[in-house]
Amino acid sequence: MSTSPSRVAVFGAGYVGLVTGACFAELGHSVVVRDVIPERIAALQRSEVPIYEPGLEELIARNGERLHFTGDVGEAIDGADFVYIAVGTPPTYSGDADLSAVWTVIDELPAIDRRCVVVMKSTVPVGTGLKVRHRLDERGLNLVGYASNPEFTAEGTAVKDFLHPDRIVVGAFKDEDGDAVARLHAGIEAPVVRSDVASAEMIKLAANAALMTRISFINEIANVCEATGADVVRVAEGIGLDRRIGPSFLRAGIGFGGSCFPKDSLALKQLAANSGYHFQLLNAVIEVNELQKRRVIGKLHSHLGSLRNKRVALLGLAFKPHTDDMREAPSLVLAGRLLAEGADVIAWDPVVDGHDLHGVEIADAPEAAALGADAVVIVTEWPQLADVDWAAVGGTMRTRVLIDGRNMLDPAPLRAAGFTVEGIGRAADPGIA
């Protein structure tokens, strides 16, 4: 594979666009990231990174010479060998992916009289590539190739995931375009899966659906464990050691959230439905997840009775640790349900500034959130929570009830400190059984 540096334009300075741009710069390419939000570009030009993603700020700083930011389409496209599209594709009211930002990028492309490749990084419905190809042809951009190169990076580990992926997927209409996109990744050690465009689009959606299915599966096993006295942590360990099953994504909890799974599950469900297929399993995965977020409320009821005027501390707001992303976070559903039940809700998160959560009080430390509380709920497994002196915290609470929504703490010392502890799918507290 040739390693000669290329010129890459990246449209979209969100999580995916910034990580993609910074990582290609790290690989030695010259990158211009373009976004429509002037404040975002201005901040990036001042070396301020508008999102929290471990390692990203350092990567951007280190590659400053090869990485530029602009609001101008012409400047981004000038001399580009690749035009990466990394714009948002949020769900519409119908559940279909909203591709308007993708179409805007395609329509804004200036006349290009040399060979370059438009590469789709955004998650899009199967069939989008073909439609984009037609639109490029209609616009007379026949020299511009098209490829799908889906992303599999997870927030919080995105830089590492990009530079050390399990695989790179490239789907193209023409082999030479696929070859070029594969070459662009020279320096990354990973198998490259080459396919047609539709299959690359489906690989992305199917990968996320498989991961979500595992989570809803283990959450249902957890719920049956609760009903039968088994411990899902041991069960997950026991099944995960089977090489055919594997240990990943078997952590039972209060459901998945984030900017990807909820959106992509709806998009795939809708894609199937639009094609006349009722995707039963995926529908169940989505429904199980919705119910799972609400199970904590039932647990609180069983320990506290009515939640009216009860003080409940939510520890962690982000949809998972090491991110400030609140999109579809289970904490939003929990806070909403608790407020609706008349509880006083106080929350802590080390990164999320929850001041826009109406009716929720924000504490600056887990200990402060728990002060005078009737119950604490671990919503996000931030590592800081493992270092809390829970025995001391228990002494400041009105009632020592702890619901561990992520099964992160060892319940034995907590019980020894007088807590009533309940996890997800774990043997009930002997003290309360």
Chain residues 111-170 in contact with ligand UGA, contact rule CB under 6 A? 123, 151-155
Q: Nearest-CA neighbor of 400 among 390, 410, 409?
A: 390
Determine, following the binding rule CB under 6 A, whether residue 69 of this chain makes contact with ligand UGA.
Answer: no
- Beta strand spans in 330-374 (E): 344-348, 360-362
The nearest distance, CB 67 to ligand UGA, in angstroms, is 21
Determine, following the binding rule CB under 6 A, whether residue 88 of this chain makes contact with ligand UGA.
Answer: no
Chain residues 264-293 in contact with ligand UGA, contact rule CB under 6 A? 264
The nearest distance, CB 211 to ligand UGA, in angstroms, is 6
Q: Contact with ligand UGA (CB under 6 A): which of 8, 83, 250, 315?
A: 250
Q: Is 260 in the active site?
A: yes
Determine, following the binding rule CB under 6 A, whether residue 295 of this chain makes contact with ligand UGA.
Answer: no
The SS3 call for residue 390 is: helix
Q: Are strands 144-148 and 420-422 parallel, antiparallel or unpaired?
A: unpaired
In this structure, what are the phi and psi dihedrals at residue 288, rounded to the nearest 5 degrees? -55, -40
Closest to ligand UGA by CB, 310 vs 426, is 426
**Which of the residues 23, 116, 225, 260 is marked catalytic?**
260
The nearest distance, CB 317 to ligand UGA, in angstroms, is 12
- Residue 393's alpha-carbon distances to 2, 313, 376, 399, 401, in angstroms, are 59, 12, 10, 11, 11
Closest to ligand UGA by CB, 69 vs 319, is 319
Q: Contact with ligand UGA (CB under 6 A): which of 52, 103, 173, 249?
A: 249
- Residue 81's alpha-carbon distances to 116, 143, 162, 177, in angstroms, are 5, 11, 20, 11
Determine, following the binding rule CB under 6 A, whether residue 185 of this chain makes contact with ligand UGA.
Answer: no
Fill in the DSSP letter of residue 424: S
Q: Which stretch binds ligand UGA (CB under 6 A): 2-10, 249-257, 387-395, 423-431?
A: 249-257
How many binding residues for ligand UGA (CB under 6 A)? Answer: 21
Q: Per DSSP, what are the bridge partners of residue 421?
A: 402
Q: Which helix (H) or strand (E) holds 183?
A: helix 175-184
Closest to ligand UGA by CB, 316 vs 394, is 316
Determine, following the binding rule CB under 6 A, whether residue 80 of this chain makes contact with ligand UGA.
Answer: no
Please state, in angstroms and rounded to a whole number, the distance separating the CA atoms of residues 101 and 118. Answer: 15
Active site residues: 260
